[in-house]
Structure formats: structure tokens, C-alpha cells
Amino acid sequence: MNLFKTIFYTIVISIFLVSCKKDPLPVLTLSADKIVFSNKTSTETISVSSNYNWSISNDSDWISITPTSSTGESTVKISATENNTDSDRTTNLVVTTGKEGTPSYLRKVISITQSNSVLYIDFDYISFEKIQSSKSLVISSNTDWELVIPANISWITSDILKGFGNGQLNLTVVENTGQDRSVDVEFKYAGKTKIVKIFQKRGVNSPPAPVSPIHPQNNLTNIPRILEFSWEKSVDTDKDQVKYDIELSESANFPEGALTKKFSTDTLTKYSTPELLKENTKYYWRVTASDSYGAKTVSSAFTFTTGTKGGYANGESRVAFFNTNGLIANEIVFVGDGYTIADFVDGGKFDQDMNEGIEAFFSVEPYKSYKQYFRVYKLAAYSKDSGATQLDKGIVKETAFSTVFKGGSSMESDDEKVFEFVSVNVEGMEDTNPYYSGIQGKLQNTLVVLVVNEDRYAGTCWMFSDGRALAICPNSRDTRSNYHYKSIVNHEAGGHGFGRLADEYVTSANRDKTITESEKTSLQNWVKYGFYPNVDLTSDLNNIKWKHFVAKAGYAVTAHEGGYYFTYGVWRPESSSCMIDNRQYYNSPSREHIVKRILRTAHNARVSEYVNGVLTPIPNDPYNLDEFVRLDVKKTEAGAQFYTKSFNPLTFNQLAPPVMVEVKH
């Protein structure tokens, strides 16, 4: 009985011990966790080992796996199909063992990368001459490729038609005895195609037709010595591009040497002389038309005889008048944009327009009475096209300074090019001045008036904190006087450019509005640069800028609310002004500010009353208020029409506000 109990308890304990024994921890071992395939179809192997059942999963259709599951240790084949896409591709294989959520579960990832198939050719267009010849193509690739020439093309062959990876092949064409010919050959690789265009010049060619003159016509006499040649476009029966060379000679034989000058115009059918021709001289000219195959046709020789009338060379400056008063001249440069060479004949359109603008500038007080303090220049700049670009009308012109009508009355030009052109071509513009420094030299106290050869009402003055000013004034021929070119000059050049005045009108957008804090800050900032003497932010007549004119005999100066584009919060000194509607009248504080600049420049004194933003007395200031009043010819504008705070009774179309550019030193 005791033996039986012992055996029984031994069996029970054994069963208990076996039932309490834990499952072994899972083990999952991979021989690699990253596989990189080439672009070609290929297979890699890895080993997978586990003490449990394992499986591999992947959802990419370009990867195949054998086997996808097993027990223990196995070798797994992983295959990738050829990559015919336009980029490398990647995917992940997920290897697991055991059941997710149980202690026997393990998960590992194998990253797969495959490069794409590529083929690069060093040219996609090859041009052959008409003769038999060969040219090579260099191929960079990582896959099989094949060159396919259309079956019906026999005039081009290749020494290699198939290959793998990098290589070079030679294309050969036979002599072309016919017309131009071309073909597209194909490089096929990895299910893709690249095309190379092959062109061979024709074996027969007709020269372009000789040209006929437009200007000057044959045998013309008394021609101005500044001249633009023009001719009819040559007709080429093969429709080739035609280029032109013009010859100008004092001899009918066009000898080589000093008597004959040759100029290429590319495809242009006109040419402007770069310098004045000789007076009373007979000239001969002809044009050679050439096509892209080298065929040429020389026109007949045409002749003309010059007279004595000259003109402006490109970059030539002339003084319209000199100053007779003052140690230093107040200088103004009138330069044109959109004027072609034909406009620069002496007494021609350029002269007429510049003279009209100069006359308009000095027809208004105080410029009229102080004209003797000024030196004025006229500066010639040749433009390819007449007029100017008008963005709102879809008109594009190529001009010397790229002037643009932006829409409304707003304009812009290449100001850097304008200032550089003036500084290089106007004598003394790089002189130093103790109160103006920097690369622009004297330009910092010089007004540049850019007259634009376009009949349109607009205008914008670009004003710089360093003193430079560019007044853009188009040649408007509007019959309404306030919209005419002359009135634009008064507003943009006389008012903004030289006078450094603020606009006094109210814009439609700001009608019945109070000036904003940001606009107040801007106004006050520019006052410290010596600008805007004609508007103020106070109506207190004891503290307003122009208090010294209030109640002065002969003057009608007070505080009129409305100006600087806003109805409220800004005051101007008089009801009417050029800075409202371009009339030929600057109000009293504006005239005073203009005279201060004139006299201070003339006496080599500091122009601005501010130094580094601080109001600072000017030593030996030549300006005197009593003397100004004594010489002030037009102290007020009789019968001026009142400009109310909230609207303009004339419904006037104002010029664009000036563009203010703060220059950081």
C-alpha cells in the first residue's frame, strides 16, 4: 500500500511540474534587414530562422517571395521585376512569428530599394551639312537600349543599334542632293522611348532676293547728317532666315579701307548711323542679304548727298542755357525716352519736345523769376522703338530706359540706368559737393526730367532720400491745359522733382477719410529729409509750418483741411495749387521752399534744414524772408476755384503719387 501511494504522488507531482513549465521565448533571426536591387529583374536570398512558425508579407506587385511562410530555418528568395518607372522605388517586407497579442509574437522589417532604368543622350538634336558625314552620340545608361531608325529612311545609318549600359554610336548621313530633310530616331529602353531629331541641310539653295531702299531714296539731296537707313525685307523662296549687312561709302566702288564702313544689322531692316556724316558729301550705300546656307545677294548701290543740318549723337548733351547768377548752378537735365534716331535731327522732334518742356518749367513762378540761377541740359538717348510700353493696353516697346505705363497715370523707368546715363554723359555730374556724397556725386542735387515720347496723360516722379529725383513726363497733347505735357512738367518736375512738394489732392479712395497713423509717420519721416513743406498735420496757425505767411499783406495763406490724399487730419496753405490739379501756380510756402533750394545751391550752402533728421540752422543761410516777399511776383492766385475737403468740383483726374525711395547709407 505504501509503495502504491508513493508511485501515485510521484506521478501527480510530475504532471504538476510539467503543467507549470513556460513556453520558450520567441526567436526570429534574419540574415539581412535591407536589400538593394538594380533596375533589372533580379533575385536576392536571405535566411530566416525561428523557433516558431513565421511568415513574410508584402503588398507591392513588383516583389515576389518564395516561400512566404515556414518553420525553423529556411532560405527565402526575394525577386524584383525590372523598374521601368521614372524614379527609384521602395517597399518593406514584414516578417512575423507567433500570434499578434501573445508572448510568442515578434515582428521585423526588411527594407527594399530598387533603382530605376535610365538613359541619357548627350544631344537631342543633330544637324548635318549637305555632304556625307558622321557624328557621334554618347549614351549613359544602366539598362538595355535599342536605336530604331524608321524603316523607310535609308539616308541615315548607325554603326550600333543595340547595347547595354554606357556606350557610343556613330550616325552617318549620305550626301543630300535634294531639299532639307529630317527624321526622328528612337532610343527604346525599359519600356520607354527617347527621341533624337536628325536634320540635314538641303543640297540645293536659292539666294535671297535683293533689297529695295525705303530711306533714303536714291539720289536724294540735302539729307540731314544724322540718318536712319531702312529697306524692304528680302524675300527668300526657300523661306530661310535672312540677315543683312549694310555698306556705306564715299566711293561708288566701295573700296576696302577708311572710305567704306560695314555694319551688320542681323535680321533688322534698318540701321542708324552711330555718328554724324560729313557735310555736303555724296554717299553710296548698299545692303547684302544672306541666308543661313551662306547664299548672298548684294543690292544695287543707292546714293544720297548730305546737307549741313546735323543732329544729336547718342549720349550727346547740350546746354540749353547757362546760369548767370550764383556760384553753383542749379542743374536740370532733360532726357528723352522712346525717341528714335530720326527724332534727333537739329530742330527735330527731340529738340522741339525738350524746348517745350523747358519753357513750361520756367513759365511759372518762382522759376520764371529765378531762371538765371539754372543751367539746363538736353541729353540724347537713342531708342529702338518710338513710344513706350503700355501694360494696360498690351503694347510693348523697346526703349532706352524701359519706360512703362503701368495703368492709370502711374509710370516707371529703369531709374538706375537713367542716372548712370546722365552721370556718364553730362559733364561734371560726378563732381563732388561738400553736402552731397556718394557714387552719384552732383546728381544728388540735380533734377532729371525724363520726357517720354508718347501722347498720353500720366506721370510719376521718383524721389530719393539722398536728393536725387526722376520726373517722368509723357508728351501728352491733350487739348485740356491741365492734362497737357506742359502741365505735367509743372506738377512732376517743378512741384515734386525740384520743389520736393507733397500732393495736396484727396484721392477717391480716401474721400471723407482721416489720415492714418502709418501715413502720418511716413509724412513726418520725409519732412526730416527736406520734403513736403506744403502740408502739415496741425491747423494751429501759431504753430503751422507756414505761420509766417498767415495774415501777411498780399498773401491768402491759412489752413485748409484736405490734402496728402486724405480729407481730414491734413492741412494745406491755400485753396488752390499745382499740386492739386496741375495749374500753373505753386502756393506761397511751396514757392518759398523752391527759392530756398535755389539760393542755397547757388551759394554752396546746405539745402536741407535737417541734418540726420534734426532741425539744424544753416550757417550763413542766403535765404531771407523779407527779400523773398519783396521779389515774390505772384503772391496769390486771383479767382482761384475752391477745392473742398470732400470732393473736387472739377472732377479732375490727378497724377499718380510720387514714388518715395529711402536710401540707406
Say yes or no to pLDDT of 204 above 90: no
State the pTM of this model: 0.67
443-453 confidence digits (pLDDT tens): 888 999 999 99
- Residue 291: phi and psi, rounded to 5, are -100, 180
Reported confidence tier of residue 273, pLDDT bands at 50, 70, 90: confident
CB 459, CB 492: distance < 8 Å: yes
Reported confidence tier of residue 227, pLDDT bands at 50, 70, 90: confident
Amino acid at 327: L
Say yes or no to pLDDT of 2 above 70: no
- Answer with the residue of higher pLDDT: 544 or 114: 544
* C-alpha distance across the termini of the chain, in Å: 117
Burial 141-176 (b: 16+ CB within 10 A, else e): bbbbbebebeeeeebbeeeeeebeeeeebebebeeb
The predicted model gives 400-407 an average pLDDT of 97
Looking at residue 433, the DSSP 8-state letter turns out to be B
Using alpha carbons, list the distances in angstroms from residue 125 to 152, 183, 188, 292, 439: 20, 10, 17, 18, 49
Say yes or no to pLDDT of 207 above 80: yes
Separation of alpha carbons 661 and 465, rounded Å:
6
Looking at residue 496, the DSSP 8-state letter turns out to be I
Separation of alpha carbons 622 and 608, rounded Å:
13
- At residue 110, the 3 state secondary structure works out as strand
Reported confidence tier of residue 589, pLDDT bands at 50, 70, 90: very high
Looking at residue 17, the DSSP 8-state letter turns out to be H
pLDDT at position 665: 61
Say yes or no to pLDDT of 223 above 80: yes
Tally of CB atoms within 10 A around 66:
12
pLDDT at position 16: 46
Portion of the chain with pLDDT greater than 70, in percent = 93
486-536 confidence digits (pLDDT tens): 999 999 999 999 999 999 999 999 999 999 999 999 999 999 999 999 999
139-151 confidence digits (pLDDT tens): 999 999 999 999 9
153-185 confidence digits (pLDDT tens): 999 999 999 999 999 999 999 999 988 899 999
Indicate left, alpha or beta for 239 from its phi (over 0: left) and psi (-120 to 50: alpha). Answer: left
The predicted model gives 542-562 an average pLDDT of 96
Burial 113-136 (b: 16+ CB within 10 A, else e): ebbbbbbebeeeebebebeeeeee
CB 471, CB 496: distance < 8 Å: yes
318-330 confidence digits (pLDDT tens): 999 999 999 999 9
Q: Can you list the domains of the chain with their CATH numbers?
A: 28-114 (2.60.40.10), 119-200 (2.60.40.10), 213-306 (2.60.40.10), 508-661 (no CATH)
Averaged confidence pLDDT in the chain: 91
Say yes or no to pLDDT of 205 above 50: yes
Separation of alpha carbons 4 and 420, rounded Å:
122
